[in-house]
Amino acid sequence: MVEPVRQQIIISGIGGQGVLFVTRLLAEAAIGKGLPVFTSETHGMAQRGGTVLSHLKVGGFSSPLIRPLQANGLLVLKAENVLQHGAFLKSGGWAVVNGRSDAMPQTNISADTIDADTLAQKIANPKSINLIVLGFALAKAEQTPEHQDSLFCSFEDIKAVLESRFSKNKELLDASLKALHAGFSAEGAE
Amino acid sequence: MNERRLLLGNEAIARGLVENGCAIATSYPGTPASEILAAVAYFQKENKLSMHTQWAVNEKIAFEIAYAGCQTGLRTAVSMKQVGLNVASDPLMSAAYMGIKGGFIVISADDPGPHSSQTEQDSRLMAMMARIPVLDPDSPHQTKEMIGMAYAISEEYNTPVMLRPTTRVCHARQDIELDYIPQNGREVKFEKDPTRWAATPRFRFHLHKALEEKLMAVSQHAPTEPLRHNPEATSSKAIISSGVAAAHSREIIKELNLWQQIPFYQVLQPFPLHTQFIEHVINAYEEILVIEETMGVIEMQLADRHRVKGKMTNAVPRVGELYPETIQDIVSQFVGIQSEKLEIPFATGRRPTLCAGCPHRASFFAIKKAVKKGIYTSDIGCYTLGLNLGAVDTVLCMGAAISQACGFYHAYKRQKKRPDIVATIGDSTFFHAGVPALVDAVVQNVRFVLVILDNRTTAMTGSQPTPASGLGPCGEPLEALDIKTLVRGCGVKFCEEGDPYQIKEFTALVKKAVKYSREHGPAVIISRYPCIIDAARKEEKAEYIPVEITEDCDGCGYCIKHFECPALLYHEDEDEKFVSIDRILCTGCGVCLNVCPKGSIVEKK
Ligand code: SF4
Ligand code: SF4
């Protein structure tokens, strides 16, 4: 019998980076695969520049929130947030962080890093950091299939979600897929 | 198979309403409830439903409109945040006595934390006081189910029913199965029955008696009986929970491997608590832990004090949101197992501030310039953040800026030195509860200045229309009210409009108003400029004035302290202090050109 999927993922960044958009793509990918899904985000006075955190739970959960030391994975769009939100990660969980590896804050988390800010400039789409980091996380998950807690969805799943979301806006779809692919095929930051 | 959609808790509530044939839905915006009515309107448009949706001027009016709808036999609902229910408590208490004809649901969203409210009050206590049943959903999915349950109870027992979601339910998203939406076909028929619909005290006595009987019956209502999730568990210690705390608890009990051991009950209807359930748990268990938000409502109905642990015994914190990690601690302690205390480090961020380019900032700066030492009363809205600028001294509740200004005036009026009083209130808040207070100020000839911050929207809750917008929740055109006419109609003789972006002229206008008020009575200024977030959403383009900071800036920090625009960045290193502009945040409003006392902020040529 295959173990049913149960994954808890924290997505962290700052206002304006598109944390909620990434969360939504992942949640819709889960629905596409027929999996139950829960998301929660910090609301309220969060504003541009403030921390944005969202909880994504895929599988049979009843609580909308992730407790400390329970997350299977961490998707971080702003490196310094690792200090605060690293506390959610399980030991042995994966972390994908936007930033140069020499600019990582000191923690005991071993993260895969990608310099998405630079990559986004390169593909002339400064607002695509979120998709680049997501693409990179998808690549990391596919490279480590033995890792039982890797991502529940694949590059193709996210691509399908983007295609249905932007079916009426070819330009936006192409730009999004380009960013996702840029992250997916990136080497990671030194 | 039906479509599954990712829905916000509030959208799931809305979906439940339309799937259950709700024909009138009203609301006044307030976090965390604001998205409910917007989503009802969305489904109304998407499915071309013949129903009435409305943003009312305040919660009391919203309640009364929806209630009258149910008196004609239609299913109706009103939604609001918990403090909104205070405003609507007058009709609530009375409607409970009179009962309903069509099903009527009062949705009151609580905000344990609090994340964005003045209080952490528990609406379930209001339901208890009004003597109406209340349901407590644990998830978006359950909110939708409970709408059906609530209409059934309402119509079976002839009573309004409350649904009490909390922030975590309202603002979580979940995959929700969409069911069929019936096209409303009920007959609209108001049957006269003055001994009920217009009952005098003598009849009210009988209505009260009938109400208590209804409650007895609802406490036996089978479909909302507490759920016993794990009948296999047989320990003499049991846990009872409701709402999102039950969702957290269920997961934690499983993960602590206590599922086979500790009996777990989820209460769906915290009031009236099922009588058989009370008897059962008191007889069956040595110790009972109750985990609920925000007050001990279930706990206080379990009469046997020495077996029940909860908020009253300090086993569960009395204030703040119950985070799952807190619940893990509480459960572990109750069962007597070790658990690591876990916490997420607190974010050290910037304090919340008005957006860059926000017209409120300009109004406050002008007020402070014109009235150096005054009493500044204010109100509920984005502009509460004027306290960062020292331009807000008091915030009590909706509309109190004006009545508190009156109170301060009366307190000081026989003193030799009387401070100038400047009240600030938003346009939506003015309509909501400010108008009666202004009438009072006119009658009493209160000498104060009222600045109505008219940004043409209800900004803080996500830009809902105001009575001055002339728009309904589906975007349909309505009559638009003119604030100035309304102010004049209240009997105010000094009422002028100004553009706060023209800060010199605006400051002069405030000075003029203060001078008038000292001698003659209330003076009102309407500060007109649209909310920039709302304007951006509507793709309205404003003039862009590029600003820059000259070499002369000596980093005195005046602009940072007194103006606090997030686009003005302060830098300090060993040998230099200076200010720069964040080009991404800056909206080019140009207001700061008048802020630097040394003239170091200039227009970029
Ligand atoms: S811009 Fe003007 S007010 Fe601001 S720090 Fe520089 S000199 Fe002071
Ligand atoms: S022009 Fe000045 S006040 Fe206006 S947003 Fe830019 S920095 Fe802030």
> Domain-by-domain residue ranges, chain B?
4-222, 225-335, 359-537, 547-603
Whole-prediction pTM: 0.93
Nearest CA to ligand 2 atom 4: B589
Is residue A153 in a domain? yes
- CATH number, domain of A21, equals 3.40.920.10
Domain ranges, residue A63: 7-184
Is residue A190 in a domain? no
Q: Can you read off the two tokens belonging to residue B170?
A: 């309202």
Q: Can you read off the two tokens belonging to residue B446?
A: 């209160």
What percent of chain B clears pLDDT 70, i.e. is strictly above it? 99
Is residue B212 less than 8 Å (CB to CB) from chain A? no
CATH code linked to domain B359-537: 3.40.50.970
Verify whether ligand 2 is closer than 6 Å to residue B500 (CB atom).
Answer: no
Give B250→chain A minimum CA distance, Å.
7
Residue B466: strand, helix, or coil: coil
Q: Can you read off the two tokens belonging to residue B537?
A: 């959403």
Out of A36, A64, A66, the one facing B168 most closely (by C-beta) is A64
Is residue A107 less than 8 Å (CB to CB) from chain B? no
Is residue A51 less than 8 Å (CB to CB) from chain B? yes
Closest of B72, B23, B70 to residue B51, by C-alpha:
B23
Is residue A29 less than 8 Å (CB to CB) from chain B? no
Residue A44 is predicted with a pLDDT of 42
Let me know: does B18 contact B101? Beta carbons within 8 Å. Answer: no
Residue A138 is predicted with a pLDDT of 94
Q: What stretches in chain B show pLDDT beneath 50?
A: none
Is residue B350 less than 8 Å (CB to CB) from chain A? yes
Verify whether ligand 2 is closer than 6 Å to residue B588 (CB atom).
Answer: yes
pLDDT surpasses 50 at A46? no
- Convert the pLDDT of each residue in A84-143 to its tens digit: 899 999 988 999 999 988 878 878 788 889 999 999 989 988 889 999 999 999 999 888
- Cα–Cα distance between B476 and B431 in angstroms, integer? 20
Closest of B69, B72, B71 to residue B54, by C-alpha:
B69
- Cα–Cα distance between B31 and B8 in angstroms, integer? 14
Verify whether ligand 1 is closer than 6 Å to residue B553 (CB atom).
Answer: yes
Give B494→chain A minimum CA distance, Å.
36
Determine the residue among A9, A12, A42, A62 to mutate to test chain B binding: the one whose Cβ has the most chain B Cβ atoms within 10 Å.
A62
pLDDT surpasses 60 at A48? no
> CB distance B345–A67 less than 8 Å?
no
Residue B353 is predicted with a pLDDT of 85
Distance (Å) from CA B599 to ligand 2 centroid: 14
Verify whether ligand 2 is closer than 6 Å to residue B451 (CB atom).
Answer: no
Is residue A150 in a domain? yes
Distance (Å) from CA B556 to ligand 1 centroid: 5
CATH topology of domain B4-222: Rossmann fold (3.40.50)
- Convert the pLDDT of each residue in A138-182 to its tens digit: 999 888 766 556 789 999 999 999 999 999 999 999 999 999 999
Domain count within chain A: 1
- Convert the pLDDT of each residue in B543-601 to its tens digit: 899 999 999 999 999 999 999 998 999 988 888 889 999 888 899 999 999 999 999 99
- Cα–Cα distance between B409 and B449 in angstroms, integer? 11
| Other CB atoms within 10 Å distance of the CB of residue B361 | 28
Residue A93: strand, helix, or coil: strand
Give the chain B residue nearest A34 (alpha carbons): B4
Verify whether ligand 1 is closer than 6 Å to residue B598 (CB atom).
Answer: yes
DSSP B352: P
- Cα–Cα distance between B528 and B526 in angstroms, integer? 6
ipTM of the complex: 0.91
- Convert the pLDDT of each residue in B253-270 to its tens digit: 999 999 999 999 999 999
Let me know: does B505 contact B369? Beta carbons within 8 Å. Answer: no
Residue B352 is predicted with a pLDDT of 80
Q: Is B602 exposed, middle or buried (0-12, 13-18, 19+ CB in 10 A)?
A: middle
Q: Which residues of A touch B342 (CB under 8 A)?
A: 67-69, 87
- State the average pLDDT for chain B: 94
CATH code linked to domain B225-335: 3.40.50.920
Q: Which residues of A touch B324 (CB under 8 A)?
A: 63, 65-67
Verify whether ligand 1 is closer than 6 Å to residue B556 (CB atom).
Answer: yes
Give B244→chain A minimum CA distance, Å.
7
Phi, psi of B149 (to 5 degrees): -60, -40
> Residue B162: which residues within 8 A CB-CB, separation 6 or more?
B105, B106, B107, B108, B123, B124, B126, B127, B132, B133, B134, B135, B150
* Domain B547-603 falls under CATH 3.40.50: no
Distance (Å) from CA B321 to ligand 1 centroid: 42
Closest of B20, B52, B91 to residue B188, by C-alpha:
B52
What are the CA-CA distances from residue B532 to residues B342, B361, B439, B536, B566 (Å)? 41, 12, 31, 6, 14
Give the chain A residue nearest B32 (alpha carbons): A44
Is residue A158 in a domain? yes
> CB distance A84–B345 less than 8 Å?
yes
Verify whether ligand 2 is closer than 6 Å to residue B596 (CB atom).
Answer: no
Distance (Å) from CA B567 to ligand 2 centroid: 6
pLDDT surpasses 90 at A4? no
Verify whether ligand 2 is closer than 6 Å to residue B362 (CB atom).
Answer: no
Verify whether ligand 1 is closer than 6 Å to residue B31 (CB atom).
Answer: no
Let me know: does A146 contact A88? Beta carbons within 8 Å. Answer: no
Kindly compute the dihedral angle of the four CA atoms of residues B339, B344, B346, B349, in this order, to the nearest 10 degrees: 180
Do B4-222 and B547-603 show the same overall fold? no
State the pairing for strand pair B264-267/B237-242: parallel
- Convert the pLDDT of each residue in B261-299 to its tens digit: 999 999 999 999 999 999 999 999 999 999 999 999 999
Q: Which ligand is nearest to the CA of B600?
A: 1
Is residue A86 in a domain? yes
Is residue A127 less than 8 Å (CB to CB) from chain B? no
> CB distance A44–B325 less than 8 Å?
no
Is residue A2 in a domain? no
**Residue owning tokens 């964040």:** B582
Is residue B143 less than 8 Å (CB to CB) from chain A? no
